[in-house]
Structure 1
Amino acid sequence: MNVPVATRLAHTGEYYFSRKLRELAALNAAGANIISLGIGSPDLPPHPSVTAALAATAAQPGAHGYQGYQGTPALRQAMADFYQCHYGVALDPAGEVLPLLGSKEGLMHVAMTFLDAGDAVLIPNPGYPTYRAVAEISGAEVREYDLTAVTGWLPDLDALAQTDLVKVKLMFVNYPHMPTGTAASPAFLARLVAFARAHEILLIHDNPYGFILNETPPVSLLAVPGARDVALELNSLSKSHNLAGWRVGMLVGRADLLAAVLRFKSNMDSGMFLGVQQAAVVALALGADWFEELNATYRARRALVLALLRALGCQPEPGQTGLFIWAAVPPEYADGYALNDAVLAQARAFITPGGIFGSNGLGYVRASLCQPEAVLREALERVEEMQKERHAERSEASRWDT
Structure 2
Amino acid sequence: MARTRLKAARLGPRDVLHVGSAGLRSRPMRVILSALGIAIGIATMISVVGISASSKAQLMERLDKLGTSMLVATPGEGMFSGEDVKLPKGSLGMLGRIEGIEEAAATGDVKEAVRRSEKISDDETGGIAVKASTEELLKVLRGKAARGTWLNKANGRYPSVVLGHVSAQRLGITSPGQQVYIGDRYFTVVGILAPLPLSPEIERSALVGWEAAQKLLGFDGHPTSLYERSTEASVAAVRKLIAPTVDPRNPQNVRVTDPSSALQAKAASEGAFSSLLLGLGGIALLVGGVGVANTMIISVLERRYEIGLRRSLGATRGQIRIQFVTESLMLSGLGGLAGVAMGSVATWIYATSGGLPWVVPAWAVVGGFGATLVIGTVAGLYPAVRAARLSPTLALHAA
Work out whether the TM-score is over 0.5.
no
Higher relative contact order (CA 8 A, sep 6+): 2
TM-score, normalization by structure 2: 0.23
> Of the two, which has the highest radius of gyration?
2
Higher helix share goes to which structure? 2
